[in-house]
Amino acid sequence: MSVLRFSKLIFGSATVFFLIAPLIAILPLAFTDSVFLNYPIPGYSTRWFVELFTAGVWQRSIINSLIIGCGTTVLATFLGTVGALGLRDKQLSLVLTTIKTIFLLPMVVPAVVLGVGMQLMFARYALTNTYLGVIIAHTVVAVPFVVVNVLAVLQGIDRRLEQAAASLGAAPVTVLKQVTLPLALPGIVSGAVFAFATSLDEVVLTLFVAGPNQRTLARQMFSTIRENISPAIAAAAFVFIVGTVLIAIVVNFSRGTNRANE
């Protein structure tokens, strides 16, 4: 039995190391003062963070990512929340079950396939090389995350609360505003966070739909790795990883408050 426990410990630790070590290993490289991404690090400086936030291309791409990310979050959160409200019944009719499957499909379709189609179609309606086009493309792949998150919370809501409000004379819109949406808020928040994160990380659709003026941070990182690797990448990765941990805390927190509500 001790042999089994020992091998479990070794295998588990090795896998945790494989999963986490690459993410930790690149963090110190963000603070190198050399132009190479090698260990040992010759000296520490914040020059690559300065480059990231002041150099024209990087600064522009960060601003673009924020514009497109916010646009995507607003659009996807609105469409996804309203859509999830229509799917909240536990016993769905066949039509609604099919619609639910359709809502989740953008997570499955390979991004390159969708990108080719979007480039062809968006060109016809002058949506390529526009912010609106990129926001729409990102919303398509972000919206399933909003639907999933909002739906999970909605299905946990005790419907008697809404029935009670209605029986006390509240109009359906009032019930929605005063009871349902506040209860669903944790799901809406985590859906919105996921939508923003999806937009921030999106590369493939951006490659097909965006023009040089809509170059996002992820797109800029992609071409930097491809053409001319620099430690600015490690600095950008540092920002991303720290951001992810913060997002994870926000999502966990909103889920925690949701659990407390139940």
Partner 1 sequence: MNQPRLGKQLISLALVAPLLLFLIVFFALPLVTMIKSAVSDPVAARTLPATARSVSSWDRTSPPTVEMQAAFVADLRQISDDQLFGDLVRRLNSAKSGFRTLMPKTRKAALDTAGSIDLVALDKRWGDISYWQAVSVAASSRITDRNLLAAVDLQRDASGAIASLPADASANKAIMLRTFVMALTVTGACILIGFPFAMIAASVDGWKRQLLLGAVLLPLWTSLLVRTAAWFILLQDRGLINSVLMQSGVTSSPIPLIFNRAGVIIAMTHVLLPFMVLPIFSVLIGIPKNLMPAAASLGAHPVRAFLNVLLPLGLRGVVSGSLLVFMSALGYYITPALIGGAKDQMISSVIAYYATGAANWGMAGALGLVLLAATMILYAIYLRLSSERETSP
Binders of partner 1 among 225-254, rule CB under 8 A?
A: 225-226, 229, 233-234, 236-237, 240-241, 244-245, 247-248
Among 42, 44, 57, 86, indicate the residue that binds partner 1 (CB under 8 A).
Answer: 86
Nearer to partner 1, 12 or 256 (CB): 12
Binder to partner 1 among 59, 101, 174, 257 (CB under 8 A)? 101
Site for partner 1 in 168-197 (CB under 8 A): 197
Kindly determine how many residues on this chain lie close enough to bind partner 1 according to the rule CB under 8 A.
Answer: 78
Min CB(59)–partner 1 separation in Å: 18
Closer of 111 and 183 to partner 1 (Cβ): 111
Alpha carbons within 13 angstroms on the beta-carbon side of residue 18 total 6
CA dihedral sign, ordered 71, 75, 80, 85 = positive
x-marked contacts with partner 1 along 33-72 as a string, rule CB under 8 A: ---xxxx---------------------------------
Of 151 and 186, which has the nearer Cβ to partner 1? Answer: 151
Give every CB contact of residue 239 below 8 A, 6+ residues apart in sequence.
52
137 touching partner 1, by CB under 8 A: yes
Residues whose CB is less than 8 angstroms from the CB of residue 256 and which lie 6 or more positions away in sequence, other chains included = none
3 state DSSP class of 241: helix
Cα–Cα distance between 71 and 66 in angstroms, integer?
A: 8
CB proximity list for 19: less than 8 A, separation 6 or greater:
none
* Contacts of residue 232, Cβ cutoff 8 Å, sequence gap at least 6: 48, 51, 52, 55, 58, 224
Q: Which one of 62, 67, 87, 152 is in contact with partner 1 (CB under 8 A)? A: 87
